[in-house]
Amino acid sequence: MIDLMTQVQATSVSTASPQIHTAPDDRLVYVSVNDPLARPLFEELAYEYSSRYAGLIDTDEIAREMQRYPVEAFAPPHGAFVLLLRDGQAIAGGAFMRHAEPGTTEFKRIWASRNHRRQGLARRILAELEAHAVRQGYTRVFLSTGPRQPEAIALYQTNGYTLLSAHDFGEDQPPGYLFEKYL
């Protein structure tokens, strides 16, 4: 197991919430995973995963991961898929689906365009997903992220998520950081 204290120190950021930069026409929209507006999200996620995990995860496995869940998993009444649009283009997004544990949802695919990072957009998506999950009756969020995604780890740590476990490649447990938060 990764030394959690070392990892927390390595990924800590200021506890002050960074300012969220938005443009006047930014808008949140709920769409289907198959909506053409969502294509940039999946293309950039595939790029991020393949660049960060080169040599650790096969590119075919990354492609399968992008199609791992059925479209219905991210649709009402148990899920949702949200995009943040600027000038009609998706610049951030995320989704949630029902988790196996009652009252729990699992957040997936939280993303901000590499051309629009450091503006608080992922934080805005996270807050929107949490609010929408509450509206759908969920009381707990579970999520996971990869060990090569320090920005995501820091996002969850600074937004009230509790780290459940942390494992890197080459350990006995599957790699990943698992978090939870009660809403």
User: Which structure tokens are listed for 141?
Assistant: 């969020």
Place of tokens 């070392």: 6
Tens of pLDDT along 128-159? Answer: 999 999 999 999 999 999 898 999 999 999 99
Which residues span the domain enclosing 69? 4-11+18-182
pLDDT at 17 over 50: no
pLDDT at 2: 41
Convert the pLDDT of each residue in 20-36 to its tens digit. Answer: 555 667 999 999 999 99
CATH of the domain at 53: 3.40.630.30
pLDDT at 63 over 50: yes
Lowest mean pLDDT segment, chosen from 1-10, 112-121, 148-157: 1-10
For residues 38 and 83, the answer to whether their CB atoms sit within 8 Å is yes
Q: What pLDDT band is residue 106 in, cutting at 50, 70 and 90?
A: very high
Cα–Cα dist 37/68, whole Å: 19
Strand 104-112 and strand 80-86: the pairing is: unpaired
For 64-104, the pLDDT digits (tens) are 777 788 999 999 999 999 999 999 999 999 999 999 999 99
Q: How many CB atoms lie within 10 A of CB 153?
A: 23
Checking if the pLDDT of 8 tops 50, the result is no
At 48 the pLDDT is 83
Q: What is the pLDDT of residue 90?
A: 94
Look at the chain and report how many structural domains it folds into.
1
| For the ranges 10-24, 106-120, 122-136, the one whose mean pLDDT is highest | 122-136
> What pLDDT is stored for residue 22 in this prediction?
58
pLDDT at 116: 84
Please tell me the pTM assigned to this model. 0.82
Distance, in Å, from the CA atom of 89 to the CA atom of 131, rounded to the nearest integer, reads 23
DSSP 8-state secondary structure symbol assigned to residue 17: P
